[in-house]
Amino acid sequence: MSVIDILTRVDAICNKYEKYDVEKQKNLNVSGDDAFARGYAAVDAEIEAALEKAELASKEKSKASTVALNAELRRTKAKLLDEVPKLQRLAIKKIKGLSTEDLAARNDLVLALPDRIQAIPDGAAAKQPGGWGPSASHTEIKFDSDGRFDDEYFQESEQSNQFRQEYETRKRRQDQGLEMISEGLDTLKNMAHDMNEELDRQVPLADEIDSKVDKAASDLKNTNVRLKHTVTQLRSSRNFCIDIVLLIIILGIAAYLYNVLKK
C-alpha cells in the first residue's frame, strides 16, 4: 500500500467518523448557535469557489465557455451581495458569550465582504465604461458582452433611429388627422346644439297651432251639423208645401176642366 492510499483511506475514515470528532463538533456547534458565523462561513466558502472559477475562466481557451463562466460568476456575485445586508444585521446583534471586540471584528468582516465580492474577476470590468455609451440608456444595466459585440450594437442603434423617426412621422400625421376630425366634430356639436334650441323654440308654437286648429275643427263640425239640420228642415218643409200647393192646383185645374166639359 502506498502512502497516497493510506492518506486517502485516512481521509475517508475521518470524514465518516466526523461526528465523533469532539473538537470539530465543538467548533461547529459554536458556529451552529451563531447564525452570523454560519452565514459568514457560507459566504466565505462561496467567495472561495467563485475565485476558483474565475481562475478557471481566465485559463479557458474557448470564448463561449469563458462567457458562460463569467456569467455564472456575476450571478454568484449578485447573490452574495444580496446576502451581505443580512449578515450585517446579524453582525450587529449581540450573542451571549461574545465579547465586544469580537462584535467589532464581525462588523469589519462584514464590511470587507462586498469589496472581496467585487474583486472577483469576471472578465467584464475593464471594458465596461467604453462600450455602453451609445447603445445603453442605463449605465447600471450590465449586458453579457466582452465588448466584441460593440459593432453590432452600433448597427442596431442606426436601425432603431430610423424606426424612431418613422414612428415620429406617423405619429405627427395621425395627430394632424385627429385635429381635423376634432374640428369637424366641433362644428357638428355646435350645429346639433343649435338644432336642439331651435326645436325647443318651435315646441310651444306647435302646441299653439295644435290647440287653434282643434278649436277651428270643432267649430266647423258644429257649424256643419247645424247647417245639415237647417237644410233638411228647410227642404222637407218646402217639399211638403210644394207638394200640397201643386196638388191643390192640379185639383183646381181638374175641377175647372170637369166643369167646362160637363157644360
Partner 1 sequence: MSSDPDKLVAKADKLTKLTLTRWSADWRNATLNYEQAANAYRVAKKYEKAKDAFEKASKGQEMLTSPWDAAKHMESAAALAKELGNWNDVADLYRRASELYVECGRAQPASDALGKAARAVEDHLPDVAVQLYTDACSLLEEDDKDQMAFDLYRALTAVHIKLEKYTDAAAALLRLGLAADKCNASNSQFKAYLSAIVVYLYANDVKAAEKCYNDCSQIPAFLGSDQGRCGSRLISAYSEGNVEEIKRLAQSSTITHLDHAIIKLGRKLPTGEVTAVKAGTEEGEGLDEDDLT
> What residue ranges bind partner 1 (CB under 8 A)?
183, 186-187, 190, 193-194, 196-197, 200-201, 204
Which DSSP helix (H) or strand (E) runs through 162? helix 150-262
Nearest distance, CB of residue 193 and partner 1, angstroms: 4
Closest CA to 150 of 163, 162, 161, 135: 135
The answer to whether the beta carbons of residues 124 and 70 sit under 8 Å apart is yes
Instruction: Compare residues 202 and 237 and give the one whose CB is closer to partner 1.
Output: 202
Nearest distance in Å: CB 184, partner 1: 9
The residue (of 25 and 176) whose beta carbon lies closer to partner 1 is: 176
- Minimum distance from CB of 213 to partner 1 (Å)? 17
* Rounded alpha-carbon distances, angstroms, from residue 119 to 4, 79, 122: 36, 15, 9
Distance CA 15, CA 24 (A): 11
Report the distance separating Cα 120 and Cα 255, nearest Å: 161
CB 183 to partner 1: min, Å: 5
Toward partner 1, which CB reaches closer, 168 or 186? 186
Between 99 and 187, CB nearer to partner 1: 187
Report d(CA 71, CA 79) in Å as an integer. 13
| Residue with Cβ nearer partner 1 (58 or 211) | 211
Q: Give the shortest CB-191-to-partner 1 separation in angstroms.
A: 9
Assess contact for 121 and 58: CB atoms under 8 A: yes
Q: Which is nearest to 76 in space by CA: 55, 46, 48? A: 46
